[in-house]
Amino acid sequence: MTSANPQDRVSSNPTSPNATLSSTENSAFFAEPVFSKPKLPASPTLETAMLDIKTSLPKETESPLKSASEELAESKMASPSAPLSPVAASASSPLATPAIEMSIETTIMDDSHDTDTEVTEAMEGQIQQQMETAASTPMDAEYLILDAPTGNGTGLIKIPPKSHEQQMEELEQNNQILRASLDKVLQDKERVDRDLYHTTAAYHELNGRFAELQQKLANRERDYEIMSKNYLEHVRTIRPTDDDHGTIMDKLTQLKASIEHLIRKTQGGRSVNLNKAAAIEYLKGAGLLENFPIEEDRLEPYHLNLFMESVVMSTLIQAFFGKHLSCVFEHNQSFKDIYEWMVARDDKLAIRWRQHLCVLLAKDPKTKALQEEVVEKTAKALSDDLTKVYTNANELAKSRDLCTKAFELSRAMSGMENVIYPQTVELGTQFDEETMAPSLKSNPEGKVALVVFPAFKDNQDAFDVRPKVWCY
């Protein structure tokens, strides 16, 4: 930064002939020093004036330059009580600036020319001192220059740059922080690598064990297939069918649904095909109304329809499920006597003997003809009973289908290790929702008045189908 030379300053008076060039031709601008308030002796007649001096753009002059102090003194001598004219800095002055506001408080004595002279000299000395200070201070490019408020107005604040040692110290601190962070990252990486190594080793070990287990499982499945094949072949030698408890239970459920559908279709909508008088007469002749708690004249159509479902199931039990071995076996009573004798001595041999007899009957060529004869006879009896109660009833085909299902079920149940047989419920028994299934409009708190569909069980209680009852 160049020194402040009073000869480089130019008058800022707008009427001066020296102000001829535009401000765009200036090469540099610098801040104007701030003037402080001079201390003057107290006077009874003080007049305070605030002078706002705004510098205009510097002009290039052709005449020799005057100092700011000389021009200010001449202005004050010409008009002591008038405000000071603004002072402009030349283009080469280090104190030049585009716009500078200076507040100068001065005390002017109205009755003394000496006071004006003292004010002028004090201001000129202060300006000279600030110019020398600015000229002696180097404006290094690394300094941070701020235009900040000061005690007397606004001014320049220089923030010195950090020294080389301070910069090195900060860099060293940053390096230490980065080294610590890097060490932590390396430690975490080492831990993760160690965990990955152990996890990979465990994975390979488990993968090997998994392959071994898969091989064992494949071998076991092949063994099971062989065992299952052998078991089925063995079962076929001792059982007439491939049924088990699950399939027999499903077939019994289907049989019960088929009976309900047969009666529903036969009775028609709203029981229009039901001959109530004929139905009551038929039931009285079969002795089914003797212990029924409702009088004949109070019987509803749904009562009679439930009775007919019970009649159909009773016919199937009498024809198929109630036989000791099979409905096509001519020596059922003799079989019963021999079987009981064998069970008393060796129940396992008795069971195998019964199962072998069932297989022999299934493979006997005459069995098929006997089966068709029994099925047709029973179906005809069912159709005749339905015709007596329902008008326009012609359900021989459905009755034949029911009898065929009942025959196949009876043969499967007789060939099981533990024989499955129907078991009725005693009338007057209190209804139990856990062991019984209610029918239409049955009283859940009443007693059994009609068994619509019996229970099916074995002597080991491994098989159990709940009965369908109507309670009153």
Annotated domain spans of the chain: 6-156, 198-238, 242-471
- Could you report the average pLDDT of every consecutive run of 10 residues in the chain (472 residues)? 41 40 40 46 41 41 44 47 42 40 42 54 65 53 50 57 85 92 94 95 95 95 93 83 93 96 93 94 93 93 96 96 94 94 95 93 93 96 95 92 96 94 94 95 95 95 94 96
The predicted pLDDT at position 207 comes to 95
- pLDDT at residue 397, as a whole number: 95
Phi, psi of 29, rounded to the nearest 5 degrees: -130, 140
Identify the pLDDT of residue 356.
92
Q: Which residue do the tokens 């008045």 mark?
A: 449
Q: What is the pLDDT of residue 285?
A: 93
Confidence at residue 252, expressed as pLDDT on a 0 to 100 scale: 96
**pLDDT attached to residue 159:** 59
Strand partners, 457: 421, 464
Strand pairing of 455-458 and 464-465? antiparallel
